[in-house]
Homo-oligomer: A and B are copies of this chain.
Amino acid sequence: MPVAEKIQNYMSKSSFIREMFEAGARLKAEVGPENVYDFSLGNPDLEPPDEFNQVLHELVDDATPGRHGYMSNAGLPEVRGQVAAFAAREYGQQFTADDIVMTVGAGGALNVVLKTILDPGDEVIVPKPYFVEYDFYVDNHQGVIKQARTNPDFTLNLDNVAAEATDRTRAVMINSPNNPTGVVYPEQNLRDLAELMEKISARTGRPVMLISDEPYRKIVYDGVQVPSVFTHYPYVVCVTSYSKDLSLPGERIGFIASHPDMPDKNLFMAGLILNNRILGYVNAPALMQRIVGRLQGRHVDVDIYRRRRDLFVRGLQDAGYELNVPQGAFYLFPRAPIEDDVAFIAVLQQENILAVPGSGFGGPGYFRLAYCVPEDVIERSLPGFKRARNQVI
C-alpha cells in the first residue's frame, strides 16, 4: 500500500462526508441538478466585481519584465504596502509592508502561522463549532486542538476558553464572522478574550497568540461593524483571503497581518516568511497579488447575500425551525428538530435538500446551510424543509 497509515485513517474517517457528497451527486443524476437544493458548499456563486476584470485587463497589458518571476517569499513589496495601508484604515493600527505576508489563500496563511508557533504537542484553543479544516491544519504541524464550547448564541464563552488553557497552550484561534454559525463576536467579547489571554500568558510564562481567521470580514449585514482584534492585545495575527469578498476562491490569494506592536515581531515575521517558503507555497501567485493589491476594500454586492439570508431565515422560522439570525458570512446554523443531526440530514435528503450536519463542525444537534445559491432555489426548497420537520416532530 503506497499510502501512509495516517492518511488512510484520515480517509476512512472522512468517508462519511464523501458518502454524503456521493449521495448528493447520485441525487442530482437521478432527479436533475435543477431539482436538488444544494446548501452544502460554501462556494461563492457571485462573480468577482467589475473592478476585478478592469484591473485584470490592465495588468495583462503590462509588460514589465519579471512580472511572473520569483520574488521575496513575503510577496511583492508594493502589494504588501497596499495591503498595509488598507489594514491601517480597517484596524486603526500603524501597519507597514513589513507586517504583511502575502499567502496562498487563508488556508495557506493558517498553515504558515501554525507552523511558525507550534512545537509538537503544543495546544491551540478553538471555540466550537468551528471550520473542520482546522483539525487538519493544526495536526499538520503536530499541534493539538482543544475545543471550547461557545454560548447558546455562539458568542465566545470565556469560562470555557479558560478551562482549556494549560502550560502547552500556544494560541487561541477564532473566526468571526463565523463559519458555520455566521456570528460576529462583539467588541466586549474580544476585550474579555484579550484580558484572559494576558492572564494565561502571564501564568505560563510565554505569550499565547491570538489567531484571527477573517475571510468573511466584509460579508456582514444590518450595518454591523466587525470589531478589530488588534485593539486590546499585542500578540495578534490576522489571516484572511479574497476568496469570499472578491469571489476568487479558485485563485488562492490571501494574506497574514501581524500586530505592528508585537514584541519580538521581527523574529515572528522571519518565521512566517521562512515557512511560506518551506511549506512549498514559496509565494502567493504573482499576477493575483498585483490585482488584489489594487482592489483593497472592494467586495461583491453583499446585499445579494443579505436578501437571501432574510428570505431563508423567514422561511425556516415560518416552518418552525429555531435559529440565530447570523450577522455575517453566508451560512445559517439552525437547530435540528431532533437530537440526531445526521439522521435529520438524511430526512432532508429525501426532500432533495443537501445540508451538512453540525456534528462535522463540533456542533451536534444543528445543521449548516450555505446560501451561495439564487433566491429561487431557497424559495423552492422551503416546502421541503417544512415537510421534513413535520415528519420528525
| Contact status of A1 and B267, CB under 8 A, knowing A275-B7, A282-B107 | yes
Quick check: A250 and B283 within 8 Å, CB to CB? yes
Quick check: B249 and A111 within 8 Å, CB to CB? no
Chain A 98-133 near chain B by CB (<8 Å), digits 1 or 0: 000000110111110001111100100000000001
Chain B CB within 8 A of A20 CB:
no
Quick check: A281 and B108 within 8 Å, CB to CB? yes
Chain B CB within 8 A of A311 CB:
no
CB neighbours of A251 from chain B (8 A): 68, 285-287
CB neighbours of A71 from chain B (8 A): 250
| Contact status of A250 and B11, CB under 8 A, knowing A2-B262, A267-B1 | no
Quick check: A65 and B43 within 8 Å, CB to CB? no
Quick check: A117 and B3 within 8 Å, CB to CB? yes
CB neighbours of A105 from chain B (8 A): 280, 282
> What's the Cα separation between A286 and B388 when bound, in Å?
38
Most central of A3, A209, A275 by chain B CB within 10 Å? A3
How far apart are A14's CB and chain B's nearest CB, in angstroms? 7
Chain B CB within 8 A of A16 CB:
no
A interface with B by C-beta (< 8 Å)? 1-8, 10-11, 14, 41, 43-45, 47-48, 53, 56-57, 60, 65-71, 104-105, 107-111, 115-119, 122, 133, 136-137, 140, 142, 206-207, 209, 235, 247-253, 262, 264, 267-268, 270-271, 274-275, 277-288
Per CB-CB distance, the 4 closest pairs between chain A and chain B, nearest first, are A250-B286, A107-B280, A136-B278, A111-B280
